Amino acid sequence: MTRPVTLSEPHFSQHTLNKYASLMAQGNGYLGLRASHEEDYTRQTRGMYLAGLYHRAGKGEINELVNLPDVVGMEIAINGEIFFSSLSREAWQRELNFASGELRRNVVWRTSNGTGYTIASRRFVSADQLPLIALEITITPLDADASVLISTGIDATQTNHGRQHIDEIQVRVFGQHLMQGIYTTQDGRSDVAISCCCKVSGDVQQCYTAKERRLLQHTCAQLHAGETLTLQKLVWIDWRDDSATSGQPQAALDEWGSASLRQLEMCAQQSYDQLLAASTENWRQWWQKRRITVNGRDAHDQQALDYALYHLRIMTPAHDERSSIAAKGLTGEGYKGHVFWDTEVFLLPFHLFSDPTVARSLLRYRWHNLPGAQEKARRNGWQGALFPWESARSGEEETPEFAAINIRTGLRQKVSARQATASAQAEHHLVADIAWAVIQYWRTTGDESFIAHEGMALLLETAKFWISRAVRVNERLEIHDVIGPDEYTEHVNNNAFTSYMAYYNVQQALNIARQFGCSDDAFIHRAEMYLKELRLPEIQPDGVLPQDDSFMAKPVINLAKYKAAAGKQTILLDYSRAEVNEMQILKVKLMW
């Protein structure tokens, strides 16, 4: 097998800091780490996230993926001058290696007095030890002696765009090299222990400070020209959900923290390169079973495939069936880290054909959250299960209800019915999408233990929802007031995608019920009648399948200039969503 290719950042720019922090993010499905730089920049958004760790910051807020204390940041001062405070760089190279998951950067930097330094950093999130992050930085004066100061540790000042989710419980230093911070979400339901070990080569002076939510180790060294200072930093991150030991005495917290430290100390017996080798071997085995190679004129085709598979791995919490894949993975706070229908339709199939146990875990995430979906259906007057449009860990609806504050009235504005809440109220095809994924898993694996238990429950409850949601019109059943995948067309009747998927959902639930001897005769009868009476949009003589009852009657406008700016949705600068909803426009045509 040829090695997967790499992704390079061609040059340094403060305008693309956060773009590459997402593109070159690292992770293993347990945690995600943004590719932020060691040094600080005003526009830089640091981020470290644990799959499934959500918290609601306060009244009027929603559950979001918690941005944890930062462990990447390093302040580097050379002869008193802060690294990169000036922009005099003679060389720059930054590269993410898909084969190993390692991120490397090499810089030749000149201070204001003209002396030069080589500063190289590398880091990886371990693929074989999920809580482990390893970092290394080397500093070499090129043409003069230098005094070097490196400050690094655990920085708990990080927020989610200003919202603080965690409280600091305790920070401590152990011996000469170990430090630890223990934190809890403000609702007391989740605890996080972050342990660090910094090992430094050569004759150095070290001290620690703990103030303003920062626990830092300061390392000072005097270097001759050509001499290299190497600092290796290992980080071990543990967390416990719903605080199994919440309310227990301090001794229990200390023991939990001590267990985390012991894990870190075991790792610290190995060098950075030894730990990287073990992680890289794990990656090698993963790629060997999954890599797709293409032969073509454009090398970017292979890079795009490797990039996609790399991110599919680092975003997937294969270790935990109470978590699923967020819309932005673990690369940032987009969509609050929530789970959408994309998981079942676009992401699960990859895992289904490469590692079906992961696909099963993703489906069991929905099964665990079935009670919340049943409650949402009940609240809306329907039967069965209506899964939330945006989901976190609990299975409750997480779509935001309120938007920004009206600066004229001072009141929080409810999200327009044509924005996010509309999806929660009407974009119900998600229910059938989950059922579709269940059937794909069953057909591919033949896993009878799953289909007879979790799969049956998901299929029957989603089918009951569709049966109860239909309305009778002229002796036929129809599905009204929905939003299909084309989110530019809202609150319509008989959306083709939704109707056909609902039919498929009920049809497959009925088939499985019969095959596995379901004793609910009432359901079987209702399902049979539903399939006979549901109106499905029909293909017109010109071969077009209308998207919904009203779409073909809407006016057509020239979309040329909006297609030229594909992906930016510039049409929303010229028209309101309400106006777009009344035009014959497909969102997909303006996105790519």
Is residue 21 assigned to a domain? yes
Q: Which of 39, 227, 265, 487 does the annotation list as catalytic?
A: 487
Do 449 and 569 lie in one domain? The reply is no
Do 500 and 574 lie in one domain? The reply is no
CB atoms within 10 A of CB 275: 22
Is residue 245 assigned to a domain? yes
Sign of the torsion formed by the C-alpha atoms of 455, 456, 460 and 466: positive
How confident is the model at residue 187, as a pLDDT?
A: 93
For residue 79, is pLDDT > 90? yes
Q: What's the mean pLDDT in 34-59?
A: 95
Q: What's the mean pLDDT in 313-340?
A: 97
The CA distance from 98 to 210, in Å, is 36
Q: Among the listed ranges 143-152, 215-224, 316-325, 417-426, which one has the minimum average pLDDT value?
A: 417-426
Burial 560-580 (b: 16+ CB within 10 A, else e): eebeeeeeeeebeeeeebeeb
- Residue at a domain's end among 233, 263, 290: 290
562-566-568 Cα angle (round to 5): 85
How confident is the model at residue 590, as a pLDDT?
A: 62
How confident is the model at residue 219, as a pLDDT?
A: 96
- Residue at a domain's end among 233, 255, 290: 290
Do 362 and 399 lie in one domain? The reply is yes
Is residue 370 assigned to a domain? yes
Q: What's the mean pLDDT in 52-71?
A: 93
Q: Across the chain, which distance is largest between two alpha carbons, in Å?
A: 90
Residues 503, 508, 509, 514: what is their CA dihedral angle, to the nearest 10 degrees?
A: 130
Q: Among the listed ranges 78-82, 482-486, 563-567, which one has the minimum average pLDDT value?
A: 563-567
Amino acid letter, residue 151: S
pLDDT in tens, 399-425: 887 655 666 677 665 554 445 556 778
How confident is the model at residue 176, as a pLDDT?
A: 86
Sign of the torsion formed by the C-alpha atoms of 72, 77, 83 and 85: positive
Residue 487 annotated to the active site: yes
Do 452 and 318 lie in one domain? The reply is yes
Do 304 and 173 lie in one domain? The reply is no
For residue 18, is pLDDT > 80? yes
How confident is the model at residue 458, as a pLDDT?
A: 99
Measured in residues, the chain has a length of: 592
515 CB-near residues (< 8 Å, 6+ apart): none
Is residue 549 assigned to a domain? no
Q: What's the mean pLDDT in 221-241?
A: 97
Do 499 and 407 lie in one domain? The reply is yes
How confident is the model at residue 85, as a pLDDT?
A: 60
Is residue 150 assigned to a domain? yes
**Closest to 166 (Cα-Cα) out of 237, 259, 250, 251:** 237
Residues spanned by the domain of 238: 6-290
pLDDT in tens, 236-285: 999 998 755 455 677 888 899 999 999 999 999 999 999 999 999 999 99
For residue 588, is pLDDT > 60? yes
Q: What is the CATH number of the domain that holds 481?
A: 1.50.10.10
% of the chain beyond a pLDDT of 90 = 75
pLDDT in tens, 339-370: 999 999 999 999 999 999 999 999 999 999 99
Place of tokens 């049943």: 374
Do 539 and 563 lie in one domain? The reply is no
How confident is the model at residue 418, as a pLDDT?
A: 43
% of the chain beyond a pLDDT of 70 = 94
Query: Phi and psi dihedrals of 350, rounded to 5?
Result: -60, -50
How confident is the model at residue 421, as a pLDDT?
A: 55
How confident is the model at residue 416, as a pLDDT?
A: 42
- Residue at a domain's end among 224, 258, 290: 290
How confident is the model at residue 246, as a pLDDT?
A: 55
For residue 532, is pLDDT > 70? yes
How confident is the model at residue 339, as a pLDDT?
A: 97
Do 278 and 400 lie in one domain? The reply is no
The helix or strand, by DSSP H or E, that contains position 263, with its residue range, turns out to be helix 250-268
Q: Among the listed ranges 247-256, 279-288, 476-485, 526-535, which one has the minimum average pLDDT value?
A: 247-256
In what side-by-side order are the strands of the sheet with 26-27? 26-27, 31-33, 48-50
pLDDT in tens, 490-511: 899 999 999 999 999 999 999 9
How confident is the model at residue 470, as a pLDDT?
A: 98
Do 374 and 505 lie in one domain? The reply is yes
Is residue 257 assigned to a domain? yes
Do 480 and 439 lie in one domain? The reply is yes
Q: What is the mean pLDDT of the chain?
A: 92
Q: What's the mean pLDDT in 527-549?
A: 94
Is residue 177 assigned to a domain? yes
For residue 141, is pLDDT > 60? yes
Number of domains present in the structure of the chain: 3
Do 274 and 407 lie in one domain? The reply is no
pLDDT in tens, 362-406: 999 999 999 999 999 999 999 999 999 999 998 899 988 765 566
Q: What is the CATH number of the domain that holds 161?
A: 2.70.98.40
Residue 153 and residue 195 in contact, taking contact as beta carbons nearer than 8 Å: no
Q: Among the listed ranges 31-35, 413-417, 430-434, which one has the minimum average pLDDT value?
A: 413-417
Do 34 and 119 lie in one domain? The reply is yes
How confident is the model at residue 436, as a pLDDT?
A: 99
Sign of the torsion formed by the C-alpha atoms of 266, 267, 271 and 275: positive
Is residue 1 assigned to a domain? no
